[in-house]
């Protein structure tokens, strides 16, 4: 893999086209990331259509740049105007904004940029080391293991919105149903098409994601659209002392380790990673009581964690075809459009492409650091952009982007329908992300379950007889039952024990 | 809508449970109608393959059972206790803009065919920017007008350049 990585790196560095694509992706990623209301997922969803005409390698170089840079971009608004640009930068504001109010906004931004770069690189290194091992192990998977791994992934993805696992499972089930629309791949029988030709080709993933994560988000925010947030802090000096930076290494390394670990768990996501990292820094810091007043470790740890999550979340997506979060779900859509299905076979058949993904992330991290240092004052100025201008332009991008997939108006109407569905779901407190995951994983689950049943002559015991499939099935059951046990059964047992102790006393 | 019910957690509010259950029930009903009326699924022998009806049946059963249980829990909660009234007026006010946006998009799509992509985009963008900055236009007309003009010109121009000239999307 090291040779392929170097080959691809040289190709990208020698190609002005690929380099400028990466630079453009980084610029757009930082800009979108720093604007409140535009999440990394939304940035990826609305920019995905731009990659239709590109080669798979060029598309991934561009999208990895948007992905990685938008994660850093979120911290700019968190530090300067106390509003996180992305969910992953939610705790950065806790220390970043107070530091900025002390006149050290420039330093806070540097801590965030430096920690993001360190976390991003460590995440990439672990991705490069671990992904081939998992992919190689997954090569021994057969249909029952794949079916159960996908079921486990989908179960975990139902956790993507804490506190609503049941609704997450139901939302995932709706996604599975949407994935079944159109001709069945094994028998060519049309399903859920209601006799219309438009639905016989199935529901395309990209208009669905643009609708759910783009248009629905615009609909939710459009009522509060107003003039730009006024910045009340001054930037000050940009570079802290070397001693100040060196003091942050332990926090950055801890944050990176947390980010990689949490990111690799499907659905855990960067918001959880940064919260864990911040709590950890607060616990270990000798300046515990100063947290909340602008402690640099409270920026560096979570920011390293936030960017390390990128590499972590790519591990299950690249090796098993299970997206780690909503952003990797959109990236997976990009791969599917290019005719590439992530999974162990991708490593065996397209090692060059896998290396292009790594290189795309590597170059994006370097360019994010360079642009973050050189253009910080320009990015700050962008925060003055009125939100209504952005929302209207994003709406237009949603329309054009969904049309551009197949030059087909049906996709525009599908996007509109899922925009409305996403809005209604959010209003009813139903998580939307599992729907997208269900749509991606549905065909995989169905194909592998049916293949397994064909092999076993119709016996469902095949899922219990193979140890790995059984283990994954049990893990899925534990994941499904855990919320119920933790809220009802365990407290009841604890109460009974306490009552018994009281009676004995 | 979430703000309107801020005093009760939406996920535990019985009325929300009933509404969420009804949302899933709609999917289940549409799914079952389509499945049961599909003669190709029911009437064909697929050999060793369990057939294209297996997964839809499993998933629709989960969705149906889930939606019924959500509604049942919601109804039980509704009968149990007093709940604060839903501020329907505020809920309706919050839905005006999103509904207007969807309505305008439904009109915008055919508009592309009639007046062309560039003109439709410019019209849509400027109209919406004016609607959204109506209050700002009254308060600070010059400060509010500049972003509208610049946003429409640069934004629409960029979208046109990237999608029509660069990617070659056939929208004129």
Give me the DSSP letters along A129-174. Answer: HHHHHHHHHHTT--HHHHHHHHHHHHHHHGGGSTT-HHHHHHHHHH
Residue range A437-446, pLDDT digits in tens:
888 888 888 9
Q: Closest by alpha carbon to A281, among A259, A266, A265?
A: A259
B41 chain-A contacts, CB cut-off 8 A: 189, 191
| Cα–Cα–Cα angle for A460, A465, A470, rounded to 5 degrees | 85
Decide if pLDDT at B7 tops 60.
no
- For residue A458, the surrounding DSSP H or E stretch is none
Tokens, residue A204: 């395309």
Mutate to test the interface with B, among A392, A394, A411, A421 (most CBs of B within 10 A): A392
pLDDT at B92: 84
Which is more confident, A37 or B107?
Answer: B107
- Are B124 and A192 an interchain contact pair (Cβ–Cβ within 8 Å)? no
Size of interface A-B (CB pairs under 8 A): 189
Q: Measure the CA–CA gap between B154 and A183, rounded to whole angstroms.
A: 42
pLDDT at B5: 42
| Residue A487 confidence class, pLDDT cut points 50, 70, 90 | low
Distance from CA of B91 to the nearest CA of A (A): 10
- Are B125 and A446 an interchain contact pair (Cβ–Cβ within 8 Å)? no
Mutate to test the interface with A, among B2, B4, B10, B11 (most CBs of A within 10 A): B11
Q: What percent of chain A has pLDDT over 70?
A: 93
Decide if B109 touches A, using CB distance below 8 A. Answer: yes
Residues 6+ apart with CB under 8 A from A75: A84, A85, A89, A92, A96, A109, A112, A116, A299, A303, A306
Distance from CA of B141 to the nearest CA of A (A): 12
Q: Which residues pair with A191 in a beta bridge?
A: A182
Q: Closest by alpha carbon to A366, among A130, A125, A128, A116?
A: A116
Decide if A416 touches B, using CB distance below 8 A. Answer: yes
| Residue A178 confidence class, pLDDT cut points 50, 70, 90 | very high
Decide if B61 touches A, using CB distance below 8 A. Answer: no
**Residue A13 burial (CB count, 10 A):** 12
Decide if A406 touches B, using CB distance below 8 A. Answer: no
**Terminus-to-terminus CA distance in chain A, angstroms?**
66
What residue of B is the nearest CA neighbor of A51?
B167
pLDDT at A230: 54
Give the nearest partner residue to A389 out of B97, B151, B162, using CB atoms.
B151
pLDDT at A24: 93
Residue range A275-317, pLDDT digits in tens:
888 888 888 888 877 888 888 999 999 999 989 988 888 888 8
Q: Measure the CA–CA gap between A467 and A351, rounded to whole angstroms.
A: 30
Which is more confident, B70 or A42?
Answer: B70
Q: Measure the CA–CA gap between A396 and B120, rounded to whole angstroms.
A: 10
Decide if pLDDT at A263 tops 70.
yes
Contact between residue A457 and residue B48 where contact means Cβ atoms under 8 Å apart: yes
Stretch 428-457 of chain A: residues touching chain B, C-beta under 8 Å: 428-430, 442, 445-446, 449-450, 453-454, 457
| Residue A158 confidence class, pLDDT cut points 50, 70, 90 | low
Which is more confident, A497 or B120?
Answer: B120
Give the nearest partner residue to B163 out of A389, A400, A446, using CB atoms.
A400
Q: What percent of chain A has pLDDT over 90?
A: 18
A54 chain-B contacts, CB cut-off 8 A: none
Residue range A349-387, pLDDT digits in tens:
888 888 888 899 999 999 999 999 898 888 877 777 777
**Most confident residue range from A201-215, A232-246, A359-373:** A359-373
Decide if pLDDT at A37 tops 90.
no
Residue whose token pair is 């780690």: A324
pLDDT at B58: 93
Contact between residue B66 and residue A434 where contact means Cβ atoms under 8 Å apart: no
Stretch 206-235 of chain A: residues touching chain B, C-beta under 8 Å: 218-220, 222-223, 225-227
DSSP assignment of B9-29: -TTT-HHHHHHHHHHHHHHHH
pLDDT at B23: 96
| Residue B65 confidence class, pLDDT cut points 50, 70, 90 | very high
Decide if pLDDT at A124 tops 60.
yes
Residue range A73-103, pLDDT digits in tens:
888 888 887 777 676 777 888 888 888 888 8
Query: CA A367, A107, A38, A26: dihedral to nearest 10 degrees?
Result: -10
| Residue A228 confidence class, pLDDT cut points 50, 70, 90 | very low
Give the nearest partner residue to B16 out of A194, A404, A429, using CB atoms.
A429
Q: Are strands A182-183 and A190-191 parallel, antiparallel or unpaired?
A: antiparallel
Residue whose token pair is 């290194």: A125
**Residue B8 burial (CB count, 10 A):** 14
- Are A174 and B63 an interchain contact pair (Cβ–Cβ within 8 Å)? yes
Give the nearest partner residue to B54 out of A391, A429, A450, using CB atoms.
A450
Q: Closest by alpha carbon to A150, among A460, A476, A481?
A: A476
A437 chain-B contacts, CB cut-off 8 A: none
Q: Measure the CA–CA gap between A401 and B169, rounded to whole angstroms.
A: 9
Give the nearest partner residue to B125 out of A223, A227, A396, using CB atoms.
A396
pLDDT at B4: 41
Contact between residue A112 and residue A302 where contact means Cβ atoms under 8 Å apart: no
| Residue A159 confidence class, pLDDT cut points 50, 70, 90 | low
Q: Closest by alpha carbon to B68, among B12, B15, B18?
A: B18
């Amino acid at each position: 893999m090291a040779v392929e990585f170097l080959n691809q790196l040289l190709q990208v560095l020698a190609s002005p086209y690929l380099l400028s694509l990466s630079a453009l992706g980084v610029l757009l990623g930082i800009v979108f990331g720093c604007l409140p209301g535009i999440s990394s997922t939304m940035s990826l969803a609305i920019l995905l259509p731009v990659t239709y005409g590109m080669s798979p390698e060029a598309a991934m170089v561009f999208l990895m740049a948007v992905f990685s840079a938008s994660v850093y971009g979120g911290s700019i608004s968190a530090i300067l105007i106390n509003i996180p640009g992305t969910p992953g930068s939610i705790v950065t504001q806790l220390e970043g904004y107070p530091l900025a109010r002390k006149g050290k906004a420039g330093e806070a931004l540097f801590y965030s940029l430096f920690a993001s770069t360190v976390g991003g690189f460590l995440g990439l290194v672990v991705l490069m080391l671990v992904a081939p091992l998992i992919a190689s192990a997954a090569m021994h998977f057969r249909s029952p293991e794949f079916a159960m791994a996908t079921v486990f992934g989908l179960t975990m993805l139902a956790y993507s919105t804490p506190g609503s696992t049941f609704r997450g499972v139901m939302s995932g089930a709706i996604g599975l149903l949407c994935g079944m629309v159109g001709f069945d791949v094994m028998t060519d029988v049309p399903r859920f098409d209601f006799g219309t030709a438009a639905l016989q080709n199935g529901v395309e993933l990209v208009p669905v994601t643009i609708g759910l994560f783009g248009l629905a988000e615009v609909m939710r925010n459009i009522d509060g659209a107003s003039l730009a947030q006024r910045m009340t802090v001054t930037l000050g000096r940009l570079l802290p002392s070397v001693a100040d930076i060196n003091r942050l290494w332990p926090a950055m390394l801890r944050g990176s380790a947390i980010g990689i670990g949490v990111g690799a768990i499907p659905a855990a996501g960067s918001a959880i990673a940064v919260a864990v990292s911040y709590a950890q820094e607060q616990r270990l810091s000798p300046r515990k009581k100063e947290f909340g007043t602008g402690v640099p470790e409270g920026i560096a740890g979570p920011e390293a964690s936030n960017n390390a999550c990128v590499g972590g979340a790519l591990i299950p997506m690249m090796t098993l075809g299970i997206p780690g979060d909503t952003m990797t779900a959109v990236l997976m859509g990009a791969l599917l459009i290019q005719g590439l299905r992530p999974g162990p076979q991708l490593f065996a058949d397209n090692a060059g492409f896998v290396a292009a993904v790594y290189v795309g992330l590597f170059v994006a991290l370097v360019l994010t650091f360079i642009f973050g240092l050189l253009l910080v004052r320009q990015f700050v100025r962008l925060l003055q952009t009125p939100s209504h201008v952005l929302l209207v332009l994003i709406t237009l991008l949603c329309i054009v982007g969904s049309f551009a997939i197949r030059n087909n108006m049906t996709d525009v109407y599908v996007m509109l329908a899922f925009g409305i569905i996403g809005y209604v779901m959010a209003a009813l407190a139903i998580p939307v992300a599992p729907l997208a995951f269900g749509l991606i994983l549905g065909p995989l689950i169905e194909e592998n379950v049916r293949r397994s049943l064909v092999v076993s002559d119709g016996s469902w015991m095949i899922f219990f007889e193979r140890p790995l499939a059984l283990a994954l099935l049990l893990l899925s059951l534990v994941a499904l039952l855990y919320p119920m046990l933790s809220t009802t059964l365990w407290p009841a047992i604890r109460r009974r024990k306490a009552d018994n102790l009281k009676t004995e006393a | 809508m979430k703000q309107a019910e801020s005093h009760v957690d939406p996920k535990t509010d019985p009325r929300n449970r009933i509404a969420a259950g009804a949302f899933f029930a709609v999917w289940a009903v549409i799914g079952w109608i389509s499945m049961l009326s599909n003669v190709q699924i029911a009437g064909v022998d697929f050999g060793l393959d369990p057939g294209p009806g297996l997964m839809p049946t499993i998933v629709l059963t989960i969705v149906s059972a889930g939606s019924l249980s959500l509604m049942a829990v919601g109804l039980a909660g509704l009968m149990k206790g007093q709940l604060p009234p839903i501020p329907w007026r505020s809920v309706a006010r919050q839905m005006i803009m999103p509904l207007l946006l969807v309505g305008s998009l439904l009109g915008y799509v055919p508009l592309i065919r009639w007046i062309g992509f560039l003109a439709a985009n410019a019209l849509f963008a400027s109209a919406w920017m004016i609607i959204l900055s109506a209050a700002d236009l009254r308060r600070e007309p010059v400060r509010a007008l500049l972003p509208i003009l610049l946003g429409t010109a640069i934004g629409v121009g960029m979208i046109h350049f990237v999608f029509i000239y660069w990617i070659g999307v056939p929208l004129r």
